[in-house]
Chains A and B, each alone.
Chain A
Amino acid sequence: MGGQPAMSSGGIDLTNVTITYDRHPAVHHLSGRIEAGSLTAIAGPNGAGKSTLLKAIMGELKPAEGKIIKGFTASDIGYLPQAAEINRRFPISVLDTVMLGAWKRSGAFRAVGRQDMIKAGDALSAVGLEGFERRPVGSLSAGQFQRVLFARLLLQDAPLILLDEPFTAIDARTTRDLIDIVCRWHGEGRTVVAVLHDFDQVRAHFPQTLLIARELIAWGRTEEALSPANLLTARAMAERWDENAAICEPAA
């Protein structure tokens, strides 16, 4: 994709963020800053609030307390959710799916420009799916479909990219290809935040890590954040709610 100039404007500031389901905190009093242009992994055990935090950054969930201030507008964000909400049986072609990524420029009614058509083709070859243009998405495997969604993200050309468990159920080779794309985004100066549960992947490819187990455990350079002591703390998190939890008083 075309080399985007370094997008240094605005990171993401999280101030005392608490996000709740049914009043129980899924993310509890979390503060910190995602630097612009950084490549950050959100890691932690199951139920640690990783996806919840990502959704809050995305703007889909509202924090019960605290603030998330983004140096990005909504149209600057490319978001790859865990593929639950997509209707895979819908009769749409691979190319049309990728071209949805041009939405910021084409919108609901304008024509999709020739440039975006070419970019869509390039994006498909970048994820190794040349020749799949006319295939219906229903005929793709899970890994191929994930690559289509990556191609759509490529076309979106967003300065902030949020990925929720992007490599789940995907074979090693495809994962490597997709990680290459993520690294390239980082090289182009985009801010990338990915929710991951595979610590080895995080260590290998992500310079920054936010380790969370409902509370923030550690946030900083990956090797420090994922120290054995921190991982032990994260693992000790009780996964179930305390049904009789008291109201959390503001810290004095």
Chain B
Amino acid sequence: MSGAGRRGPGQSVRYHVAVEGRVLQVEVDGGTVRPEGAGDEARLLDGGCGRSLILSMRDRPHRVFGVRIGRAAWEIHHRGRTFRVEVADERSRRMRRARSDGTSHAAGLEPLRAPMPGLVLRVDVEEGQDVPEGQGLLIVEAMKMENELRARAAGRVRRVHVTAGESVGRGDILVEFEPGGGDNGAGDGPDRSPGDAVAGTQP
């Protein structure tokens, strides 16, 4: 962790870390890290060779692996579990906010993206259709299993980007949503959108 180690005390940087549906503020001050609202102050024991580090929290050592998967996206691996994490510092966070103002994402309705590469077997919704929470949207075959992608919240289908028989890559946008529609209007909370699809046994 050459970068962290090189700055002296008093030159701390604040990061916003989005993990498991929460955003935590984390202050990095040399080899000392303070996550707010979760855990305790941690100390960097060893930076390892880039993909792993060892930190100590409450005198307990933790080995954590990190793989960068996007501009600000990381896959963090801790004790067998993989977490998808977004990290932004103060400046890039302000810039991103300014950029995304006024887009459809402001309504909190994330599009449905392909969670894995595969083959679209069937599309069960049409544009303009209202979908209640749990509604099957489409079926993607991957690794010889059919996976039904269902809406995690209510919404209205604005655009369907794929048709049956089409191959899709991980992260491709499959369906876009707009507010309204569904059984109970805007779904069951501001942090959920129909695009946070879940795979389930089909049918």
A and B bound?
no
Binding site for A on B (CB under 8 A): none
